Structure 1
Amino acid sequence: MKWIVPSLYVAFSLPLYLLSALTAQVQAQSYHRNKTWQISQAFKPPQRGKPPASAGGSTRGSSCLTGKKLIIPLIPPDKLGLTFAQHPTFFWYAPPSQVKTAKFLLLAEDQNVFYETSFTLPNKPGIFSFKLPDSAPGLTIGKTYHWYLTIVCDAEDSSENPTVDGWVERTQPGSRLSEALTKANLYKLPTIYAEAGIWHEALTSLVQLRRTQPNNFKARLDWRQFFKSVGLSAIASV
């Protein structure tokens, strides 16, 4: 597996067999102090209010994307990803395209622009990511933000530019969860975050594990099970 690691994103392609697994039941459950941590088999979404139903959609396939395929945002089923980070990382699947530029927009709760930027896409299709840079304003605890990713197919006519969106909210861990995170190694982090319903760090830590242990069979099984549990097995068609 090859990894492209520019300054703000990583990209990789996944073969079909890595993302086909038995169906996992997604059940919300609380964090337990005496839990014997193992790599998560499923993401456990927290019980909380949902963002507007319009979030997380994708525009129709654009002619600038090969086969008019869609961008797929890697977000949980309720379209709202929780994070502990001031500057979280966002992930998407992008199909083959000749387009080299994407735009990222983050809106505050009052719909004012919180952050926006453009960046260069990788040369091949696959999953890629964008980390909100440390130079950007940090997310405020308890605030929800609406983000958009746009592939710039036509700088003059935005109707041809495929866009996906979602929501992110920054929260903070309780003392027991903080203690578990402090003691955890790279293998345990994905489970702890997934059990707590912290989407952005769960996915980011899984990516770290896949990058540092590309031949670890257990890590690959857990990777595909994580995506199956949130209905994202469609990216197996890469």
Structure 2
Amino acid sequence: MNSIKKLIKLTVIPTSLGLSIIGSLPKVGIAESPIAGKFQNWQISQNFVPPNRKAPSTTAGGGSRGDFCNLGSKETLTPLIPPNKLGLTFAERPTFYWFVPQIPVQNAHFSLLDEKGIVYSTTFRLPNQPGIVGFTLPAKAPSLKVGKQYRWYMAIACSSEETEKEASVDGWVERIQPTRALSKQLASTNPKQLSQVYAKAGIWHEALHTLVQQRLINPSDRTVMANWQVFLESVGLKNLVPQLLTSTTTQSQ
């Protein structure tokens, strides 16, 4: 698509790299918006603490939050990423998330790029209803290398007739290795508190993945819902708190 050609021309300042892993997401919604004030502070240490890193400088911009076709709706295509657009991960093949509003097309295009160009590119099918969509890099995609930085790009055509016009968003992913101390802490942490450890350590993909899994397992748990709310609000995504989690495929079309 048109935006991919622009991204290939990026000037990247190298750093490190990363991603995380998740499967397809069953549909689940929030019955009611949790009220964080009802919980004690020790119960909700879920604020995301951004790492001391910035996304690399580029010579060309991509899509950003709020960039979407004119569909007569106030809802926009929105990536679930930190404000600086850089997500850290420990995984070789992470899952990426976006809120996708009601749209007339069924497919989305995803590309992963490094400083040389496109590393992986595919098209995946979107669900029939608006919500938060997860796309996991499949096994056939190259694994992310530690110490290398990648830019991802996701685009949706505005309509099946006008494929040249599209909504697009982009961000960065960096895979890193956990420190010995963090590995030890994660191994000894109660599964219900793993998302808090990841969030405090600034590991975006794992923190988000763990919260999604907690929501799927315990959709009515008030503490889980409050943690979800606090986490998203801490990165400026308050408007996505009540949105559904919708399933999607990772297979190319």
SS of 1:67's partner is: coil
With over 3 angstroms needed to count, the CA separation of the structure-2 counterparts of 1:184 and 1:146, relative to structure 1, is: same
Query: What is the aligned residue count?
Result: 216
Task: Please show how residues 5-44 of structure 1 align to structure 2 within 5 Å.
Answer: 9-10=24-25, 12=27, 14-15=29-30, 17-18=32-33, 40-44=45-49
Find 1:180's aligned residue among 181, 185, 198. 185
1:92 matched to 2:98? The reply is yes
1:48 matched to 2:63? The reply is no
Find 2:89's aligned residue among 83, 105, 117. 83
1:168 matched to 2:152? The reply is no
The aligned amino acid for 1:94 is V
1:221 matched to 2:226? The reply is yes
Task: Please show how residues 96-107 of structure 1 align to structure 2 within 5 Å.
Answer: 96-107=102-113
Q: Which residue of 1 aligns with 2:68?
A: 61
With over 3 angstroms needed to count, the CA separation of the structure-2 counterparts of 1:217 and 1:167, relative to structure 1, is: same
> CA deviation digits over 1:92-111, x for unaligned, max 9?
0011112110111000122x
With over 3 angstroms needed to count, the CA separation of the structure-2 counterparts of 1:91 and 1:106, relative to structure 1, is: same
Find 2:77's aligned residue among 67, 71, 74. 71
Contact 2:99/2:131, CA 8 A, preserved across alignment = yes
**What's the CA shift for 1:66?**
5.0
The aligned amino acid for 1:187 is K
With over 3 angstroms needed to count, the CA separation of the structure-2 counterparts of 1:222 and 1:144, relative to structure 1, is: same
Contact 2:109/2:121, CA 8 A, preserved across alignment = yes
Distance, in Å, in 2 between the alignment partners of 1:127 and 1:151 is: 15
Find 1:232's aligned residue among 229, 232, 237. 237
With over 3 angstroms needed to count, the CA separation of the structure-2 counterparts of 1:15 and 1:218, relative to structure 1, is: closer
Percent sequence identity over matched residues?
Answer: 44
Contact 2:157/2:164, CA 8 A, preserved across alignment = no
TM-score norm. by structure 2 comes to 0.76
**What's the CA shift for 1:17?**
4.6
**What's the CA shift for 1:45?**
0.4
Find 1:118's aligned residue among 123, 134, 158. 123
**What's the CA shift for 1:9?**
3.4
> CA deviation digits over 1:80-138, x for unaligned, max 9?
0000000011000011112110111000122x111111111011111111011122110
1:196 matched to 2:217? The reply is no
Q: Which residue of 2 aligns with 1:30?
A: none
Find 2:146's aligned residue among 134, 141, 146. 141
SS of 1:211's partner is: helix
Segment of structure 1 superposing worse, 153-162 or 84-93: 153-162
**What's the CA shift for 1:159?**
4.1
Where in structure 1 are there 5+ consecutive unaligned residues? 1-6, 23-36
Segment of structure 1 superposing worse, 227-236 or 179-188: 179-188
Q: Which residue of 2 aligns with 1:29?
A: none
- C-alpha RMSD over aligned residues: 2.6
Contact 1:86/1:139, CA 8 A, preserved across alignment = yes
With over 3 angstroms needed to count, the CA separation of the structure-2 counterparts of 1:207 and 1:15, relative to structure 1, is: closer
